[in-house]
Each structure stands twice: as C-alpha cells, then as structure tokens.
C-alpha cells in the first residue's frame, strides 16, 4: 500500500512539473523574436508535450481508478480540459 501511494505521488509530481514547464514555455514563446531561438523552443515544447502524453498513458496503466481520478482532478484544477488536452496532443512537427 505504501509503495503504491509513493508511486502515485511520483507520477503526480512528474506530470504536474512537466505540464507547468510546458505552459511556462508557451508563455515564453510569445516573448521571443521569430527565428532560431523560437524554433528551438517550439521543438522542445513539442517534445515535452509528447513526454506528458506518454506519462499520462503510463499513469492510466499503473494507477488504480481512484488514484487516476485524484490525479486528473489535480491536473484539471485550473482548466477542466487540461488532462484531455495533453492526452490527445498530436505534434504538428
């Protein structure tokens, strides 16, 4: 039981951190000038979104139904569509 909860906490922490990084990067993107810097940031954001999507699928496989619901509530706290947005993400690159 303790190991299961620790695994849940790690998954929650990793997902929230990656989502915060992705959303911070999107805010930064609007501040950059068009060019190589912007393209590099865009590519790294697409890679991060793909990591988040993969982490969501792993969470759906490893967590119990109750843990998954709790994690979805935490992810969706500011935006009710946040979990689905990252789960359905398809890179345009």
Q: Locate the domains of the chain by residue range.
A: 2-87
CA–CA gap between residue 4 and residue 30 (Å, rounded) = 40
- In eight-state DSSP terms, residue 4 is H
What is the structure's pLDDT at 24?
87
What is the structure's pLDDT at 70?
95
The segments of the chain whose pLDDT lies below 70 read: 30-36, 93
CA–CA gap between residue 28 and residue 21 (Å, rounded) = 10
What is the structure's pLDDT at 32?
64
CA–CA gap between residue 64 and residue 30 (Å, rounded) = 38
Whole-model pTM: value is 0.68
What is the structure's pLDDT at 34?
62
């Amino acid at each position: 039981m303790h190991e299961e909860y620790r695994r849940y906490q790690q998954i929650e922490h990793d997902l929230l951190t990656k989502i915060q990084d992705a959303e911070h990067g999107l805010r930064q993107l609007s501040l950059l000038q068009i060019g190589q810097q912007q393209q590099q940031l865009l590519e790294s954001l697409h890679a991060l979104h793909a990591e988040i999507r993969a982490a969501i699928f792993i969470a759906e496989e490893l967590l119990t139904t109750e843990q998954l619901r709790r994690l979805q509530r935490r992810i969706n706290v500011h935006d009710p569509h946040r979990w689905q947005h990252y789960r359905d993400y398809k890179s345009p690159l």
